[in-house]
Amino acid sequence: MLPGYIPADQNRDHYYMIRSQRKRRSALSYVLLVTYILSIVMLLLSFAYLVSLGGLPLGAYLKEQASPYFFVLLLLVYLPSTSILAIVIFIILGYALIFAALGTGFNSTVPPIESSNGFFSMMAPVLLILSIIITAAEEAANIPIIGQGTAVTAGYSSFVNLIYAPFVEEFGFRILPLGILTFIPFMLHVRQPSDIGSNKARYLVSPVRSFLLYLVSPGYYRSRYGGRSRGVDLILILITSALFAYAHVYYGAWSWGKIFPTFMDGIILAVGYLKFGLYVDIPLHWFINDFAGLELVDPSSLGFLIFVLVWCMIAFVIGVVYSIPSIRRFFRTSGSTGALR
C-alpha cells in the first residue's frame, strides 16, 4: 500500500475532515495576507514621506544633527551624533530587509499562527485594536496617558524618531535580554559529552558562530534542536514586558495609564520574537507606531488608514480566536513550535 493512501472504504470521514481543515488553513493564510499587503503600502507611504524630507531642503538635514540611541533594558545609551539623513537611510534599508524576510515567511500549508508572515498578519491587527480599545477605555475613565509637559508633534523629526524607535526598543527589551538569556539553556541542551580523555565539550552547533544568528532567529534554532525552557521563557517575557511598560513612564513621555497597554503589547512582541525572530517583533512594533505617525504627518493618507483600521477590526476577531490557543500551547509545551519559514 502506498504511504499516506487511505482506502475508499476506510476512514473516509477522517480523510475528508483533514482535507477540509487544510483547505480552511490555506484560505485563512491568504485572507490574512491582506495585512502584509496593507503594511507594504503603509511602508511605501512612510518611505515617500522620509525621502521628501518633510518638504524641506536637503541641505537642512545634512547639517541638522541627531543622536541615535538604543536601550539595554532601562539603560539608555546615546551614540555619537550624526545627520538625520543617515538615520533615515538606516531606517529605509532596515525595514526593506525585514519586510523582504517577512514576505518569504508566507506559508499556507501550516496554520497562520505557525508561520512568521501569518503571525505578523494576525497579530499586527490584534496589537493595534487592543491598544485602541484599552486607550479609549482609559480616556473614558480619565486615566492620564500622555506625560505632563509632553506635546504630540507632527514634525519630520518626530516621525523619524517614531519609526526609528521599534529598532532600538526591540533591541533593548527583546533581542538582547531574551536572546542572550534563552541562549544559555539552549547551549546547555545542545552540549554533548566530551570524548574520552578530552576536556573540551562538544556542541551540536558552534557557540560562537550561532550566537548572532540565534539573536536574529531563536525560533529556528529551538525548533530544530530543542533546548527551550518554558519556565525561563515565561519569567523573561513577564519581566521584560513590565520593564518595557515602565520605561515609557520612567523617561517621561507617557503617564502611568500607558503601562497596561504597553505591558500587553510587550507580551505579544516577546512571544513573536522567541517564536520566530527579530523579523517579526520589529515590524509588529512598527505597525502601531507607523499607523499613528502617518495620521499626523500625512493627512492625505487618512482615507487609506481608515481602510486599514476597518480591516484590522475584522482581522482582530480572527486573531483573537486563533491566537489564544496557540499562545497557550507556547507556554504549556517545552518545545518551540515556531521555525524560520
Per-residue pLDDT at 199: 59
> Which range is most confident: 40-44, 181-185, 186-190?
40-44
- The contacts of residue 159 (CB under 8 Å, 6+ apart) are 46, 49, 50, 54, 293, 296, 297
Per-residue pLDDT at 16: 42
The closest of 188, 190, 169 to 273, measured between CA atoms, is 169
pTM across the whole model: 0.85
The closest of 44, 2, 119 to 301, measured between CA atoms, is 44
Per-residue pLDDT at 63: 74
Q: What angle do CA 23, 114, 315 make, to 5 degrees?
A: 70
The closest of 200, 321, 340 to 274, measured between CA atoms, is 340
Pick the range with the lowest mean pLDDT from 4-8, 234-238, 328-332.
4-8
Q: Percent of the chain scored above 90 by pLDDT?
A: 50
Write out pLDDT tens, residues 98-114.
Answer: 999 999 999 988 888 88
Per-residue pLDDT at 9: 40
Confidence of residue 152 (pLDDT cuts 50, 70, 90): low
Q: Which residue has the higher pLDDT, 58 or 169?
A: 169
The residue written with cell numbers 533615515 in the block is 88
Hey, where are the domains in the chain? 33-193+200-332
Per-residue pLDDT at 15: 38
Question: What mean pLDDT comes out for the span 275-296?
Answer: 95
